Structure 1
Amino acid sequence: MASQASSQLHFVLFPFLIQGHIIPMIDIARLLAKQGAFVTIVTTPKNAARFQNVIERGIQSGLPIQVIEFRFPCQEVGLPEGCENWDMLPSITLVPKFFSAVEMLQLPLENLFREIQPKPSCLISDMLLPWTVSSASKFNVPRIVFHGFSGFCLSCLHSLSVSKVHESVSSDSEYF
């Protein structure tokens, strides 16, 4: 797949390691590939195994998709081995360690950007991966943020931001 024409768009997708973020990013990857873009999905081995069948069916049908796996640094941050997804955390107290491990994926992502062919045209990364902004910038690649909020939720958040009605609430139990 790396031999595709250099003029072909190449999207690198990097979802946060939680099913509710991975599943829609896989859907986005398939939609982009159906439009002729080359797509690289970046994840970890255990997460890749979870959606392997969906991606393999897409590839077999001719979609230009590849998956690149980064080793997840569980031991380095004190997580149990193989704890590569939010739902694999044995305790909510391990969330800070999980985020620390996720942040350690910045160097592998940047190494990928140096080596991957065709060169990425765009990075679509999760809102929970804010450090990808600087990584994309370093390689002069535009970054699009992904978040799973619905349109209705975004509309409500915007309305609150504009109206500031919540700022006049005097207690946690007051309706507004």
Structure 2
Amino acid sequence: MKESKMGFVVRHWAPQMLILDHPATGAMVTHCGWNSIMEAVAAGKPMITWPLFGEQFYNEKLVTDVLRIGVAVGVREWSFDWWRLGKEVVKRGQVEKAVEFLMGGGVEAAEMRKRVRKLAEDAKKAVES
């Protein structure tokens, strides 16, 4: 980021819904917690899934296999504290592949975006008074 002068890092709390609603945001990398999934769906953004532990692996299956509105980076092992252990659970190339798939303009990714936008519309209709 320093070299390209693009992007920024938010070190503390971030206004996630405002970021997701921004037209420049094309997808969300999520740990597959339920709130994050709901926020991505409400914003109509497809997801790159990176579960860490617990039910997040089940949530990932819902997003990727059932609803088909996300792509997995390939985490296969429950790992709550991988950063402290210095353990590599996902390789850089796996993340790159998922990003290229979603942002590359392929037919399958376009269908994924269409499905998640429809879910967002349905969610908004469900809460209208």
TM-score, normalised with respect to structure 2 = 0.38
Structure number with higher strand proportion:
1
Larger radius of gyration: 1
